[in-house]
Structure 1
Amino acid sequence: MRKFLWVSVFLLFSVLAACSNNNDSKKEEKDAAAQEEDEAPENTYPLTGETASGSIDQRVISVMVNNHSQARPQSGLSKADIVYEFLAEGYITRFLAVYHSDLPENVGPVRSARPYFYEVADGFDALYTYHGAANFINDDIEDSGVDYADGAHYDNDRELFKRTSDRQAPHNSYLITNGLEQLLQSKGYDTEMEIDPLLFSNEMKAEGTSAQQVTVTYDEDETVTYTYDNQKEQYLRESDGEATVDAETNEQIALENVFIVAASHEVIDDEGRRDIDLKSGGKGYLLQNGEQIDVEWKNKDGRILPYKDGKPLPFKPGQTWVNVIPEEPGIVSVNEKGGDTSAD
């Protein structure tokens, strides 16, 4: 009987010890999980997919940026999450620079509006910032309901827009971003907004072909070239054979994603203004990691996005440049070779 009692006591302590060890183990697992959760990034920027070092609910700001040869080099392009490049008049392109994760002090030169630019801005609920427009375009912008800031109303007030003396108008208007918060508040626009994120992945989700250098030809004298830098794992941009650099930093524009979109273009007046169909979808090319993926583009809630076999393709985390080109002739040349273009 006494032997049985000692055995029972021993078994009881063994069970209690096992439970204690099991609880300690679970506690350690919970503590480790909590530590990992603390170390993991809480937020990512919705338009770059990169870890957020600051707020992610600030308003998206979009700016019409001049790309005339007399407007180069531009200021602020290297900080844009996304840049859209469209033909504006003749064969000269303009940019819509979209800012959310980083906002430089100055952006420009700022140029006049076009309808397809503010359509893209509206897809991000962005403030659409431009400098002047034809009366019918201004009327369309006001009727569209998009939040906007026309630099022609603030010309040279030195708080929101400024004119520089180093260039001639219309190539010398710059947005001063420090004045944006006051502008948003004065016009009753939202200063904070939850932004639906784009789709991002560090892994390519479709097979591509080698594309070390890709040239988009808008005209004989208007070309854009992207050359893949194997060391940086980015595409470096050139315009008309010269590196595209940011005037503020002297840095060459370097991108994780290049998205080339073919869309229907129609010239609508003697000034060479165009109507561009951004609704119907069509053929496109997505450049990532030195490879080109043939895709279809679709407009989803105002955003131009790449699809493959009916499924959305993610962007690589980082910055993106979107070149919209005419379906005809839609000239894009690809050099499969190339290699490291980084400076020594």
Structure 2
Amino acid sequence: MKRVFALVLALALTLTAFTACGGSKPSGSTTTPAASAEPTPEPTPVYDPDPLTGREKPAGFNGGRPVAIMINNIQQCRPQRGLNEAKVLYESKVEGGITRFMGLFEDYENLPDIGPVRSARDQFFRVIMPFQPLYVHIGRSGITQQYIDDADYGDLNVDGNDTTITYWDQNRRNQGFAQEHTAYTNSEWLQKYVDKKGIDMDRELTSPIFDFVNYNEPVRALGGEAATSIGITHSQSYRTYFDYDTATSKYMMSQYSSARGVTPTVDENDKEQVGFNNVFVLFADISAYPYPGGNLDKNGNDKGDPDYQKVDYTFGGLGYYFNNGKCEKIRWFKGATNEVLRFTDESGSSSLKINPGTSYVGIVDLDEYEKFEYTGPETDASISAPAANPDAAASDAAAEKVAE
């Protein structure tokens, strides 16, 4: 009996041993290790920027052909409408020391009132012609018309004197504004012109207008000095100022008025102060075109030299770039009418990387360079403004009248 019990116990131990081994292979056999999983590569972020701001296109983005609109800036026409809608706002001296704006807009189907719309000048047309926008204005200088003809701009040149592209705001007239300061356009009026002429407004820019930092990457920290206040002198009567607002990362715009001093530039549409993420100040040789005669009124009388201003884009020049409370000295280049405005670092060797956002571009007479100034938060120095000149407004209006 003991022998039977011993055999049963030995058999049980043998079965337990095989179970513990888990049915392993005999000694000397090999096991193929499981292949390790390859890590899934991160997908490359899509880069499809808004061509005018470099920002990511929002859902439902409706870009297409941009629209450039000439906007009056004579003191008597302020406040203007639609400045906060501009993705890029250009300012330059025209005649008699006054300045004019040109706004570059997108999504023409959703634009509120823009204006007062004013006459075209060649220094603006030459800057934006390479982008082939719808160029909207009321009247133009003869020099501008020559550039438009040379560029064969056709129906993209929209002169409100010849089309129903603008309307006159009677409410403004009732408030005492002169008629030339009451012409506006908006989506409804633009659509009428587009439909009438069969303009292809689906044509989009193939690349951004500036060399923007990729919006998938961190913004670039400028390497220059702190700059939270900027003072730009275009002439004795026309000066533009910016103060950096950390809450919005924008430079908020103000302008000098001979009657009221420096006051915030407000968009009449939304009653908000106008501001931009990027500010460019570009110094250029600006001088009066020679007057050949022929500036006649409706009665055939010579009104005299209109003092049209010529901006020399031939060789480029010195400039300043402001963003996020900092400033860098830069170089700018333009050249022929069909060449785009380009920015480089101060040495001219590397393209300037520009942070995404809206932009102000001031084209300033080199003669006013000594009056240009900016300050940072570490200094208490205030930017000076000219003393009020009660006769300046009348002089500005007279200069504009001669030039029309």
The interval holding the TM-score normalised by the smaller chain is: 0.7 to 0.9
Residues 67-119 of structure 1 deviation map (CA, whole Å, 9 limit, x = unaligned): 01121111111011101101111111001100126752211000001111111
- Alignment-mate amino acid for residue 214 of structure 1: I
> Which residue of 220, 230, 240 corresponds with 1:214?
230
Of residues 248-257 and 127-136 in structure 1, the stretch that sits farther from structure 2 once superposed is 127-136
Taking the aligned partners of 2:159 and 2:85, their CA distance within structure 1 comes to 22
How many angstroms does 1:188 deviate by? 4.2
RMSD: 2.6
TM-score by length of 1: 0.83
2:356 is matched with which residue? Answer: 317
Q: Does 1:118 align with 2:125?
A: yes
The Cα of 1:315 is off from its aligned counterpart by 1.7
Aligned residue-pair number? 318
Larger radius of gyration: 2
- Among the aligned pairs, what percent are the same residue? 25
1:273: Cα distance to partner?
1.0
Give the C-alpha shift of residue 6 in structure 1: 9.8
Please give the secondary structure, in 1, of the residue aligned with 2:331.
strand
Asked if 1:266 corresponds to 2:287, the answer is yes
Deviations 1:288-342 (A, max 9, x none): 1111211111127533232112211122211100001111132301222379xxx
| AA in 2 matched with 1:327 | L
TM-fit CA distance, 1:63 = 0.3
Contact 1:81–1:101 (Cα < 8 Å) also in 2 = no
CA distance in 2, matches of 1:250, 1:338: 31
1:72 is aligned to 2:78: yes
Matched, 1:191 2:201: yes
Contact 2:98 2:237 in 1 (8 A): no
- 1:189–1:329 distance in 2 versus 1, CA, 3 Å: same
Contact kept? 1:205, 1:314, Cα under 8 Å: no
For residues 147-197 of structure 1, the C-alpha deviation after alignment (integer angstroms, 9 at most, x for no partner) is 21111113xx4xx31101213221111112233344234334331223121
2:266 counterpart (245, 250, 274): 245
Is the 1:48–1:319 Cα contact (8 Å) retained in structure 2?
Answer: yes
Correspondence for 1:162 among 167, 173, 184: 167
Local SS of the residue matching 2:341: strand
Deviations 1:124-143 (A, max 9, x none): 22111101124553354233
- In structure 2, the CA distance between the partners of 1:163 and 1:41, relative to structure 1 (3 Å rule), is farther
Question: 1:58: which partner in 2?
Answer: 64
SS in 2 for 1:329: helix
Query: Aligned equivalents of 1:211 and 1:87: distance in 2?
Result: 24
Instruction: Indicate the SS of the match to 2:161.
Output: helix
SS where residue 120 of structure 1 aligns? helix
The answer for unaligned runs of 5 or more in structure 2 is 1-22, 257-261, 292-304, 380-404
- Alpha-carbon offset, residue 41 of structure 1: 6.0
Residue in structure 2 matched with residue 45 of structure 1 by the alignment: 50
Q: Deviations over 1:28-70 (max 9, x none)?
A: x47xx56xx7xx6663201101121234650011000000112
CA distance in 2, matches of 1:42, 1:216: 35
Scaled by the length of structure 2, the TM-score of the pair is 0.72
Report the counterpart of residue 181 of structure 2 in structure 1: 171
Report the Cα offset of residue 251 of structure 1. Answer: 1.1
